[in-house]
Amino acid sequence: MNFLGRYIFSTDHKIIGLQYFILALIAAFTGMALSVAMRFHLSYPEAKVKLFEILWPNGAPGGVMTPELYLALMTMHGTIMVFFLLTTVPQGGFGNYFLPLQIGAHDMAFPRLNMLSFWTTALSFLVLCSAFVVEGGAPISGWTAYPPLSAVGPVAGPGLGQGMTIWVVSIALFSAGSLMGAINFITTTLELRAKGMSLLRMPLTCWGWFSTAIISLFAFAVLIAAGVLLLMDRELGTSFFLPAGLVINDKPIGRAGGSPLLWQHLFWFFGHPEVYIAILPGMGIISTVLATFSRKPVFGYKAMVAALLFIGFFGFLVWGHHMFISGMNPYSSIAFSVLTLIIGVPSAIKTFNWLGTIWGGSLHLTTAMLWALGFVSVFVTGGLTGIWLGQPALDLYFHDTYLVVGHFHMIMGVAAVFAMFAGTYYWWPRMTGRMLGETTGKVHFYCTFIGVYMIFIPMHFAGIAGNPRRYSDFSQFEFLRDLKMLHLGMTHAAFFTAAVQFLFLFNLLWSLRSRAKAPANPWRATTLEWATPSDEPPVVYRGAYEFSTPGARRDFRMQNEEEDTGT
């Protein structure tokens, strides 16, 4: 096989997993750079930055960022991070690489479909980035793309012409890629498990990928449909989302019969389950890492599986909590509120079980373990504010303030990213045969852990003071001027936290230079990806987390170990 067949258009799940991982790495650093530029502008609105002018000659004439460029960066930051980082690494990256290994399958069920799904995703990313260079620049409508702003073209503002169309096409492509992936994951999990690998012996990571795939199948199917409708409103003159009587920028739009709220319903029917798409595989990683480095079985394995499935199902019944103040029927807000708080229960169950897992353990504080324990901390912090926001009476004030920004960055962004870091430090030896530097890793962890709290907790204070989100400038309102120092602190914390991420990049690259090969099972873990590779399909004899079993020869028993042989 030539280079092209082996590394580019590969059908090998391991190569495809790495491709997703590398794509997401590029996306993550791009998205992070955008956020740094946004924070810079918020705190130094008048500063002339040569780099801005070089990158965006129209968006930053003379190096000063315009409001439309700020909103374009914001839209692209959100879109890149949600789709190409949070959706891509946990499922496409780790899932492709490790699902077949962990269930003892030779590859994914449909290797060619797998390749197609990666390349569709990669194409989607290129299409999205091209929005920066078309006339009018990237869209300014936010990653939620609410119509009418997103549906009527450039009359509503810069970036809403070609840039917006490109955004919709990119999202539709991404949805198609995710749907292909979902079918592959579901089929692989159900059909290709090794002998003895019953569903309830699967590692919780596999449960995470499996339930995420099911959620993706329904959620992305709706998003792709919504995207097509939006595209038709934009290009073909339909009125799914446009009511009668619209006059935008003195120009009559001349459509009738549609509803802007319809988009919100469709979008959040995807958008809320998307939160779980981002976090469920991560929860599986955290359970595995905590168990392995506590040398204890996962506490309440069955409760963990039940919680995952419960979240997967109820995740589709809570989308309305994004719409309490949207003009939706106020009675439905009460129903959505009750359902939203109910879905908090399985998340709490998982947290209790994680604490139960480390309780009584023998904790080895490796870098992977630090990220996992840090995950529990930020998951609690981000989750509690969800209880505030899930109540419509409190959302009456907090909706679309910085409190929401702080909340979702903590729970969906930071927690999910911590799980990715835990997964990377844990699996890197298996993926590359090299160990990552533990000292660099720990410095990276501590700086990031303190950094994210310094960025996102002050956002809660800004939200309590009423600071609306998606403002490119805080000078127009008296009450926002009082928050200047608060924002300055967040901005500098963001600079710091972004800078230390290069330690991670350095660690990855440095490890590849190292000549020392990683041992086959460096963490003394139990699951099949660490088993000695063999041409024979593995046979599974036990559950996924047999640590410190009384009477056992050593403190872990791999799933394919037949019995204690005493050797």
Partner 1 sequence: MLLAIVIWGVTGVVTAGFATKRWWFPAPINTHAAAFDSYFSANLIFSGIVFLAAQLALGWLIWRHRNRGQQAVHSDGNNRMELLWTSLTAILFLGAAIGSARMWSDVHLSTFSTTPMRIEASGKQFAWNFRYPGADGKFGKTDARLANDAAGNPAGILPDDPAGKDDIVNAALRIPAGRPVQLILRSNDVLHNFFVRELRVKQDLVPGLDIPLHILADKPGEYEIACSELCGLGHHQMRSVMIVLPQPDFDSWLGKQAAK
Nearest approach, Cβ of 120 to partner 1 (angstroms)?
29
Residue with tokens 């872990």: 556
Residues within window 316-345 making contact with partner 1, judged by CB under 8 A: 325-327, 330-331, 333-334, 337-338, 340-342, 344-345
Residue closer to partner 1 by CB (options 185, 336) is: 336
Q: Is 183 in the site for partner 1 (CB under 8 A)?
A: no
Kindly write out the interface string for residues 107-146 of this chain, putting x where it contacts partner 1 by CB under 8 A and - elsewhere: ---------------------------------xxx---x
Interface with partner 1 (CB under 8 A), residue from 149, 202, 204, 405: 149
Query: Three-class SS of residue 535?
Result: coil
Residues within window 391-430 making contact with partner 1, judged by CB under 8 A: 391-394, 396-397, 399-401
Nearest to 434 by CA among 544, 499, 513: 513
Alpha-carbon distance of 24 to 7, in angstroms, equals 17
Residue closer to partner 1 by CB (options 316, 461) is: 461
Interface with partner 1 (CB under 8 A), residue from 297, 315, 413, 441: 297
Q: Is 157 in the site for partner 1 (CB under 8 A)?
A: yes
Residue closer to partner 1 by CB (options 303, 508) is: 303
Interface with partner 1 (CB under 8 A), residue from 63, 154, 196, 356: 356
Alpha-carbon distance of 242 to 460, in angstroms, equals 34
Question: Is the separation of the CB atoms in 152 and 253 below 8 Å?
Answer: yes
Helix 484-513 × helix 13-43 angle, to 10° = 150
The H or E element that residue 546 is part of is strand 546-547
Alpha-carbon distance of 412 to 275, in angstroms, equals 6
Residues within window 365-394 making contact with partner 1, judged by CB under 8 A: 365, 370, 373-374, 376-377, 380-381, 384-385, 387-388, 390-394
Nearest to 260 by CA among 242, 235, 247, 234: 242
Kindly write out the interface string for residues 41-80 of this chain, putting x where it contacts partner 1 by CB under 8 A and - elsewhere: -------------------------xxx--x---------
Nearest to 244 by CA among 258, 231, 232, 230: 258
Q: Is 309 in the site for partner 1 (CB under 8 A)?
A: no
- In three-state form (DSSP H/G/I as H, E/B as E, the rest C), the secondary structure along 199-251 is HHHCCHHHHHHHHHHHHHHHHHHHHHHHHHHHHHHHHCCCCCCCCCCCEECCE
Size, binding site for partner 1 by CB under 8 A:
117
Residue with tokens 């309102």: 477
Kindly write out the interface string for residues 465-494 of this chain, putting x where it contacts partner 1 by CB under 8 A and - elsewhere: xx-x-xxxxx-xxxx--xx--x--------
Nearest approach, Cβ of 387 to partner 1 (angstroms)?
6
